[in-house]
Amino acid sequence: MPPPSIVIEDLSKTFGRQTALDGVGLNVERGETLALLGHNGAGKTTMMKIMLGLLRPSAGRVRVLGRDPVQRNAIRARREIGFLPENVSFAPALTGREILKFYARLKRAPAADCDRLLDRVGLHDAADRRVGGYSKGMRQRLGMAQALLGEPHLLLLDEPTTGLDPALRARFYDIIAELTGRGVTVILSSHALSELEDWAQRVAIMCRARLVADGTLESLRRASHLPVRLQLITRQTAPALAETLGRPVIALDDTKREITCGFDDKMALLRRIAALGPVIEDIEILPPSLDEVYAFFSQRDDP
């Protein structure tokens, strides 16, 4: 097994009296997609800057692609990292192609990659336009192309889909899926939780400088003990169905009914519903969403 892309042990960072990170521990395996979640000021961006070697930790141990990011021998490792900051800013007088070639020289990446990446993010037709005339979404796509220069082994993406329409967001996640399929590690920090639900293999939740939850979405759903919702389509009234099943039933409209249950009794309840036969026309199982899981762990650990 190759070593993890990221190893963080008991990491702390203070700025004067302010604690930005407090004893954080986190490993991210190669080829893994991690959603790093937290409110503004929770410590996500500080942790990314430490991974990039832009900040020194106050305490703890960090290894990125096998190296300490603040040591001189980490220069090569930094060339293997792609970073897209939350607020993308480029020289407005330069064209998209000129911007990308400038970053390619900094990263010692082949200039020939620039046209391929501009096409990949949908900026081929705007490559020779000045960036000052780009929309926010176009600047975001140019930032993504910059992050992909040099075939990175690790991508750190801070609010990467800001300003992108649904079609471009889908293209972005297709790129992420392709990269992780090749073994690239991706850390996504975003407030667009509904987008991440289908893409993140793991979820890490920060709250008040601490890591309060870490695991697959399924494991965090179970750990939260949040209810599962079952929505039924039936002509049977909510009171009649409640009497049959022996639990509360909510009428959402003329035919839709909702029942909540825990993970442990979900299958038993489904069997009882299935035994009702043709009276049940359809059923949909709605596990706790990532928004709900995030809210649970954040509120639990936020006084």
Q: What is the pLDDT of residues 42-101, one digit of tens each?
A: 999 999 999 999 999 999 999 999 889 988 776 777 889 999 998 888 999 999 999 999
Contact yes or no for 4/34 (Cβ under 8 A):
no
Mention every residue, 6+ apart, whose C-beta is less than 8 A from residue 234.
241, 255, 257, 279, 280, 281
What would the mean pLDDT of 231-260 be, rounded to a whole number?
95
**Which of the following CATH numbers is that of domain 227-287: 1.10.600, 1.10.287, 3.30.70, 3.30.1370?**
3.30.70
Provide the mean pLDDT of the chain.
92
What would the mean pLDDT of 277-282 be, rounded to a whole number?
94
Question: What percentage of the chain carries pLDDT values higher than 90?
Answer: 79
**pLDDT of residue 37 exceeding 60:** yes
This prediction's pTM: 0.89
**pLDDT of residue 214 exceeding 70:** yes
Between the CA of residue 64 and those of 38, 42, 69, 76, 124, what are the distances in Å?
22, 21, 6, 11, 33
For domain 6-221, give the fold: Rossmann fold (3.40.50)
Domain residue ranges in the chain: 6-221, 227-287
Residue 302's pLDDT is: 56
Q: Do domains 6-221 and 227-287 have the same CATH topology?
A: no
Residue 75's pLDDT is: 74
Other beta carbons within 10 angstroms of residue 24's beta carbon come to 25
